[in-house]
């Protein structure tokens, strides 16, 4: 990790005050610095974003909104939140922004509260096809308070849009169930979303279109993925992932009447006091994303994802839908070995210093605890400075470790091969990470 005197001083102070916590923070910093982060929903923030979060702003309650707080002493917080809102509106070219949601899931919950009554119907993607738990999982608020109906991907392998959104099915589901809200935007979908086609389906049944762009927000802001505006009535997102900010949520709209409902749903509907230190970090991240260099970054994010996907295909893996248009891909491990599970791959790759997550693939025959796939992403590696050659090297390392892992299954000598292969790759990964340090 690059030298950051402020971070060094902070850790030194914490080490004196609370060595137990400081020890584990230091270990985590070392882990991040020496491993390759391939989880599609994670990234490395800039020192400026990180330092904004660790300020005196954490001391203050600021319930309400700029100019209308329920506590005194918020004059400077009003300025900071106004900067964050103004930058968000510029970034996504919209009229209204609420920067207070603590997470993307809470942003979605607030929007549901604003747009629907308990028991109302909404439509979203089949969750196992790449949706999100806040889009209708039975044990989530969205599935308990509201009535989700789902549209699928194309499941026919002979169809040219195999494993892509079935827009005809979207229209059929909407016409049949007349949902109040149509959700689009996903957590494991590697293709461009046709927001105009989604709006057409919403208009035909009188629904409001909500686009959850948590994964692709940075790409949208940079213009390397189509924007949900002007098609979506409301847009939700996280502020980390491709947007490369702090962990948090954001809600956007062009409609003043919806903005008023959303503000009331966020506070006092869903949350109390906003996290002003996080809002300050959001403002910093939005400012960074407004710079020309951010478009270059996001363009490389997509190029790196495509390079990784192509290299894995060449090595015998299957990428769902045949490739990627954004920052992520779902890797079907079964063509490489029918013994290989996502849980195995996640564990073995972490031994070698490559961090990913097991993930179900569309119509996965295995349960979520094991899965037939892994999800890989390029935002964090691109932040480090990786380009196509490094992504192809990552693909080669992935294959070497997984091949050794498959050999270890049921073999008395295979475990030693896996251990030695993972150890060798771990050292090579560490060396590459030293050449491409994370910000800090």
Q: For every residue of 238-298, which 3-state class applies, written as one string?
A: ECCHHHCCCCCEEEEECCHHHHHHHHHHHHHHHCCCCCHHHHHHHHHHHHHHCCHHHHHHH
Asked whether 372 and 426 are in contact (CB, 8 A), the reply is no
Contacts for 77-84: CB closer than 8 Å, 24+ residues apart: 77/276, 80/276, 80/279, 80/280, 80/283, 81/274, 81/276, 81/279, 81/283, 83/283, 84/279, 84/280, 84/282, 84/283, 84/286
Residue 238 pLDDT: 98
List 61, 70, 155, 167, catalytic entry: 61
61 is an active site residue: yes
Topology agreement, domain 56-289 and domain 293-435 = no
Q: How far, in Å, CA of 280 to CA of 282, rounded?
A: 5
Catalytic hit among 237, 238, 253, 341: 238
CA atoms within 13 A on the CB side of 364: 27
Q: What is the pLDDT of residue 414?
A: 79
pLDDT of 1: 54
The Cβ-side half-sphere exposure at 157, using a 13 Å CA radius, reads 3
Give the per-residue pLDDT at 2.
60
Query: Rounded to whole angstroms, how far apart are CA atoms 284 and 295?
Result: 16
Q: Are 290 and 282 in contact (CB under 8 A)?
A: no
Q: Name the active-site residue from 63, 78, 86, 399.
A: 63
CATH number of 293-435: 3.90.1150.10
Residue 413: the pLDDT is 84
List the helix and strand counts (H, then E) for the chain.
16, 15
- Fold of the 56-289 domain: 3.40.640
Q: How far apart are CA 341 and CA 440, in angstroms?
A: 35
DSSP H or E segment with residue 204:
helix 195-205
Cβ contact 346:352 at 8 Å? no
Q: Is 241 one of the catalytic residues?
A: yes
Residue 263: per-residue pLDDT: 98
What is the mean pLDDT for each group of 10 consecutive residues in the chain (440 residues)?
74 91 94 98 97 96 97 97 98 98 97 97 94 91 94 96 97 98 96 98 98 98 98 98 98 98 97 97 98 98 98 97 98 95 98 98 95 98 98 98 93 89 98 95
Residue of 69, 199, 247, 318 with catalytic role: 247
Catalytic (active site) residue 336:
no
Note if 247 is an active site residue: yes
Q: Which of 231, 288, 279, 344 is nearest to 90 (CA)?
A: 288
Query: Which of 212, 263, 288, 344 is flagged as catalytic?
Result: 212
User: What are the structure tokens assigned to 103, written together?
Assistant: 């997470």
Instruction: Please tell me the predicted confidence (pLDDT) of residue 410.
Output: 81
What pLDDT score does 146 carry? 96
What is the domain partition of the chain in residue ranges?
A: 56-289, 293-435
- pLDDT for 411 equals 84
Given the residues 87, 199, 241, 358, select the one marked as catalytic.
241
């Amino acid at each position: 990790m690059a030298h950051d005197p402020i971070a060094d001083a902070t850790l030194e102070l914490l080490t004196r005050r609370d060595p137990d916590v400081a020890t584990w923070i230091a270990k985590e910093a070392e882990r991040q610095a020496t491993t390759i982060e391939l989880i599609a929903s994670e990234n490395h923030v800039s020192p400026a974003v990180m330092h904004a979060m660790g300020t005196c702003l954490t001391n203050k309650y600021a319930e309400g909104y700029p100019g209308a707080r329920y506590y005194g002493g918020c004059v400077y917080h009003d300025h900071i939140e106004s900067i964050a809102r103004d930058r968000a509106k510029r970034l996504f070219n919209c009229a209204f922004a609420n920067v207070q949601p603590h997470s993307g899931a809470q942003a979605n919950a607030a929007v549901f509260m604003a747009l629907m009554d308990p028991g109302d119907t909404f439509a979203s993607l089949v969750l196992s096809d790449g949706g999100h738990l806040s889009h209708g999982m039975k044990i989530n608020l969205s599935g308990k308070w509201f009535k989700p109906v789902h549209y699928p991907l194309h499941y026919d392998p002979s169809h040219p849009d195999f494993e892509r959104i079935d827009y005809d099915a979207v229209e059929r589901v909407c016409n049949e169930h007349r949902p109040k809200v149509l959700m689009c935007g996903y957590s494991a979908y590697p293709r461009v979303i046709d927001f105009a086609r989604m709006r057409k389906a919403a208009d035909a049944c009188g629904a409001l279109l909500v686009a959850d762009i948590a994964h692709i927000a940075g790409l949208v802001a940079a213009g390397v993925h189509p924007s949900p505006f002007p098609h979506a009535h409301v847009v939700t997102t996280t502020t980390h992932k491709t947007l490369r900010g702090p962990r948090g949520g954001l809600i956007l709209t062009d409609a003043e009447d919806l903005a008023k409902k959303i503000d009331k749903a966020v506070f006092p509907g869903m949350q109390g006091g906003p996290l002003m230190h996080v809002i300050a970090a959001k403002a910093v991240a939005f400012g960074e994303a407004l710079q020309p260099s951010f478009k270059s970054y996001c363009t490389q994010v997509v190029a790196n994802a495509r390079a990784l996907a192509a290299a894995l295909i060449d090595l015998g893996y299957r990428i769902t839908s045949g490739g990627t248009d954004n920052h992520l891909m779902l890797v079907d491990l079964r063509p490489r070995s029918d013994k290989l599970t996502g849980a195995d791959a996640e564990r073995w790759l972490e031994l070698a210093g490559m961090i990913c997550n097991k993930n179900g693939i569309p119509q996965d025959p295995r349960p979520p605890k094991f899965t037939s796939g892994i999800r890989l992403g390029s935002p964090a590696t691109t932040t480090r400075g990786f380009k196509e050659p490094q992504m192809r090297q990552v693909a080669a390392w992935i294959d070497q470790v997984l091949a050794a892992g498959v050999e270890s299954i049921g073999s008395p000598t295979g475990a030693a091969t896996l251990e030695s292969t993972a150890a060798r790759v771990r050292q090579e990964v560490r060396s590459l990470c030293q050449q491409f340090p994370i910000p800090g």
